[in-house]
């Protein structure tokens, strides 16, 4: 079971007079969203315990998602059962698929309400799915509002629990040791061929071993086109760099600038622009891709730890998510 106060004692802190102050630091939704999944789980359970809920054991899955059942108002005539789930690390937000999957899990718990905690937020479609299935949504902003509603002493105490020691590096869900940042380098080859058969504007970089513009099409490229071979049978406009031959087929027109090893203009083809011969060694079209991930490298790791691969959290991940103001505020123990 996740001990909501375990992190505090492991970090060498102790509760004195029921008060530990957070100094000038304070809670923010950004801080909550940046925490290790285990810290978020400990924080959620600590809030529930403080609210008087009775908690069952937590189930931790390999993706870092955490689920547990609890009873709200256990000493009253109308106790309420609830199933709480915290989104996995690689998702961190909620999608329609994850909401519907959780809704099916809630159905297996008799007369229980579902609370889905996704610190990264909910997409608009995920929010609609949650409303349809009566799933209560909680993001980092919702947790922030809960913490602000507590007394300053209690909120500061929870702050110390959550931020003690290394609090943003994710924990391995198998061995419960901190993951390590591991960098890797891979090489990406160009696509074999890109054929443009429809007229229009291409507003993305184009790179391929061979690029073709089909007959009776008009294509304008906003970005430089790079290839080993270019064949123009229709009308193409843009800037082209080719490590091999550029061929203008009958009826093919190329407007713009062309840098290539050779230019072949067939009868009926036409170049409207500037052309220069490429010299020097051929340019490599193999792209080196550097990335890093969170992997388990602990001395205590188990065979199952090899399957744990966590992606870094970043702003791109939550761009599409709804703001906290649009998410239902969470109040542990509230009656619906």
Architecture of domain 6-176+315-326: 3-Layer(aba) Sandwich (3.40)
Q: Determine the Cα–Cα distance for residues 195 and 176; give it in Å rounded to an integer.
A: 50
Closest to 244 measured CA to CA, from 266, 263, 225 = 263
| Other Cβ atoms closer than 10 A to 286 | 10
pLDDT the model gives residue 210:
95
pLDDT the model gives residue 192:
86
Query: How does pLDDT run along the chain (336 residues), one tens digit per residue?
Result: 455 444 444 433 333 333 334 444 589 999 999 999 999 999 999 999 999 999 999 999 999 999 999 999 998 898 999 999 999 999 999 999 999 999 999 998 888 999 999 999 999 999 999 999 999 999 999 999 999 999 999 999 999 989 999 999 999 999 999 999 999 887 777 788 999 999 999 999 999 999 999 999 999 999 999 999 999 999 999 999 999 999 999 999 999 999 999 999 999 999 998 999 988 776 766 677 788 999 999 999 999 999 999 999 974 444 444 444 344 445 554 443
pLDDT the model gives residue 322:
46
pLDDT the model gives residue 308:
96
| Other Cβ atoms closer than 10 A to 315 | 6
Contact 72, 210 (CB under 8 A): no
- Read off the DSSP letter of residue 154: H
pLDDT the model gives residue 332:
52
Residue ranges of alpha helices (H) inside 200-309 are none
Q: What are the residue ranges spanned by the domains of the chain?
A: 6-176+315-326, 190-277
Closest to 293 measured CA to CA, from 184, 210, 151, 130 = 184
pLDDT the model gives residue 279:
83
Indicate the SS3 state at residue 192: coil
**Residue spans of beta strands (DSSP E) within 159-286:** 180-188, 193-196, 200-202, 206-213, 218-221, 225-232, 235-248, 253-265, 270-277
Contact 220, 203 (CB under 8 A): no
Q: Determine the Cα–Cα distance for residues 39 and 66; give it in Å rounded to an integer.
A: 11
Closest to 202 measured CA to CA, from 166, 170, 240 = 240
Phi, psi dihedral angles at 302 (to 5 degrees) = -110, 165
Contact 247, 233 (CB under 8 A): no
pLDDT the model gives residue 10:
42
Q: Determine the Cα–Cα distance for residues 297 and 69; give it in Å rounded to an integer.
A: 32
pLDDT the model gives residue 335:
40
Instruction: Output the CA–CA distances (angstroms, integers) from residue 136 to 34, 39, 51, 143, in the order listed.
Output: 22, 21, 17, 13
């Amino acid at each position: 079971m996740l001990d909501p106060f375990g992190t505090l004692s492991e970090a060498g802190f102790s509760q004195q007079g029921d008060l530990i102050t957070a100094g000038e630091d304070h809670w923010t939704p950004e801080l909550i969203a940046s925490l290790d999944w285990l810290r978020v789980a400990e924080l959620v359970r600590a809030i529930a315990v403080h609210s008087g809920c009775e908690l069952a054991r937590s189930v931790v899955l390999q993706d870092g998602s955490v689920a547990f059942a609890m009873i709200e108002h256990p000493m009253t005539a109308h106790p309420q059962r609830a199933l709480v789930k915290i989104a996995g690390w690689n998702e961190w937000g909620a999608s329609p698929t994850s909401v519907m999957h959780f809704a099916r899990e809630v159905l297996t718990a008799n007369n229980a309400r579902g609370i889905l905690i996704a610190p990264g937020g909910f997409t608009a479609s995920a929010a609609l799915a949650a409303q349809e299935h009566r799933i209560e949504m909680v993001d980092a902003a919702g947790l922030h509002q809960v913490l602000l509603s507590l007394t300053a002493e209690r909120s500061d105490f929870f702050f110390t629990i959550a931020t003690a020691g290394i609090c943003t590096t994710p924990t391995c869900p198998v061995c419960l040791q901190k993951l390590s940042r591991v960098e890797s380098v891979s090489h990406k080859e160009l696509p074999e061929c890109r054929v443009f058969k429809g007229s229009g504007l291409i507003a993305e970089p184009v790179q391929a071993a061979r690029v073709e513009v089909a007959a009776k099409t008009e294509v304008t490229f906003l970005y430089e086109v790079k290839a080993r071979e270019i064949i123009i049978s229709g009308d193409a406009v843009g800037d082209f760099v080719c490590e091999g031959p550029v061929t203008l087929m009958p009826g093919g027109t190329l407007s713009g600038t062309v840098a290539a090893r050779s230019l072949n203009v067939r009868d009926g083809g036409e170049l409207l622009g500037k052309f220069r011969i490429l010299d020097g060694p051929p340019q490599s079209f193999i792209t080196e891709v550097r990335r890093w991930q969170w992997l388990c490298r602990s001395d205590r790791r188990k065979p199952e730890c090899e399957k744990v691969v966590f992606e870094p959290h970043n702003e791109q991940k939550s761009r599409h998510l709804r703001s906290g103001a649009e998410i239902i505020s969470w109040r542990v123990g509230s009656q619906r």
